[in-house]
A and B are shown apart, each in its own frame.
Chain A
């Protein structure tokens, strides 16, 4: 079932939470709504669910307008950040809840409910917890029960609000891979909210980046990471270095070097910013390339298999961060205080006040 969001607005007093957002989530896709806190992603998710009402705009499920349909009739599965499991019910009762509260006419029999609940508990690999209470489970287990409970009502769409937000790093990583596999099995249209870019990129078919109530970019994880639409997306998806650049006839000039910027073939002597990711900066101990910038190593930190360098160069106001594999760093023979040369391998140039709007 596809979800269509048509020009939705929502404000809380003076705060604009969702600002004229239109999006379509395709059938069977797993989409991440990614953004910093206050970007409106959770509000948008709650509007889709019917837990908030939009000020203006429509929500359609598979073409059918559900904007005025109450949350209890909308047929969504919603997984809450803090699970919202019913504390006084066992795991079994929690998962069965959505079936037992149906009107008698559409309620399955006790046996059917039992079979279905046990099947779902097996699906989330927690059938042995059926008679326990939520407080007896770990955070990751509670989250899986919350998911099973949402799935029990056979929702048309599955909505997850920061599903792994309250878990520690290791459980998080396991659970998101598990969610990906689960989604591949059940294939229900799913949207999940996260502020963790790694999570969004790893799990989803599609990433929608939000900021200040607006959609900044909407695309596949590769697209969003490799071709950020604007400076915000660039910065939000991982670390990035910023160089002052002079944009002239299809090239960006940083210090003494020129980088290709074919999209600005018509620009002349304009001021802009070049964005380069740390792993896209090549570091040399000697001037091996003509188009490398002189720099000085200020700090070296070894993080597991990688080495992060902070370098000072005249072409950037801030220290430049570069990341390289440990063996490469060893081969260079650099240390704190050494002189070095750096060369951006790939950059994306933005002119000030420019909003590049994709799709």
Chain B
């Protein structure tokens, strides 16, 4: 006499909250993204290929990918250093600095853009001194890297920080008690523990830099073939009603973004498996 019961959950609201979640996500972005990808498939392959391999477009890829890689690498080193200093050392103003790390996340990109160009222009607070050494930042590729470094700054810090906080002091003490000097302990014990988090932060900073627009357009000067990033090219094409061209490049960006999301998810899974 087995009576099968209808599946009912004890905590209420699953249907309501799940329904709203899926409906909202569907309306706001799943359906539009799907429709957008569908639109791209209506293009012929030749149109698409021509649009995404124009010389000006290829030059923008080089700048966007190259600049993002350099910026993410800078952030990898300084982000790790900053996380280390914030977790391990005590110094005045530490809490303030810790809070400030989130500024690029909270400050509108347009505001950051005009602030950076004002700083690095040849008359700016920083630019005028760099000028003495013959270094120009504003309206050069270096300017793009500066803006992308700024925008990616929080990511490495915020992924490494919690892992570093959870690191058991016992590990390091064990390493030291086994005869390792401090440098060896950092290299053999601490670094491997931080590695997945470092990589995740690096990937996040890179992904964010690739798509960035607001903080770059002011400082880059937007010279075709020289300081024009891919997102800017999309805006330009959309404004000229070249929807095919814009959609083709946009699809490339979208595919790269999905790939980065997969990589980041994989890395996060790896990190959490390592650290429970």
Contact = CB atoms under 8 A, between A and B. Distances in A.
A223 B3 CA distance: 34
Interface in B3-24: 3-5, 7-8, 10
B1 A7 contact: yes
A9 B2 CA distance: 9
Interface stretch (A52-60, A120-128, A308-316): A52-60
B5 A71 contact: no
Interface residues of A, number: 15
B238 to A, nearest CB: 49
Contacts of B10: 50-53, 70-71
Contacts of B5: 53-56, 67-68
Nearest to A50: B10
Interface string A39-62: 000000000001111111110000
Nearest to A9: B2
B60 to A, nearest CB: 50
Interface in B190-218: none
Nearest to A71: B10
B14 to A, nearest CB: 13
B8 A56 contact: no
A338 B137 CA distance: 90
A86 to B, nearest CB: 16
Contacts of B8: 53
A180 B93 CA distance: 56
Contacts of A56: 2-5
Nearest to A68: B5
Interface in B61-109: none
A200 B151 CA distance: 61
B2 A58 contact: no
Contacts of A51: 10
A322 to B, nearest CB: 41
B8 to A, nearest CB: 6
Contacts of B2: 7, 9, 56-57
A68 to B, nearest CB: 7
Nearest to B5: A53
Interface string B7-48: 110100000000000000000000000000000000000000
A87 to B, nearest CB: 18
A7 B3 CA distance: 10
Given A9-B2, A53-B7, A68-B5, 15 more contacts: A7-B1, A50-B10, A51-B10, A52-B10, A53-B8, A53-B10, A54-B5, A55-B4, A55-B5, A56-B2, A56-B4, A57-B2, A58-B3, A70-B10, A71-B10
Interface of B: 1-5, 7-8, 10
24 contacts: A7-B1, A7-B2, A9-B2, A50-B10, A51-B10, A52-B10, A53-B5, A53-B7, A53-B8, A53-B10, A54-B5, A55-B4, A55-B5, A56-B2, A56-B3, A56-B4, A56-B5, A57-B2, A57-B3, A58-B3, A67-B5, A68-B5, A70-B10, A71-B10
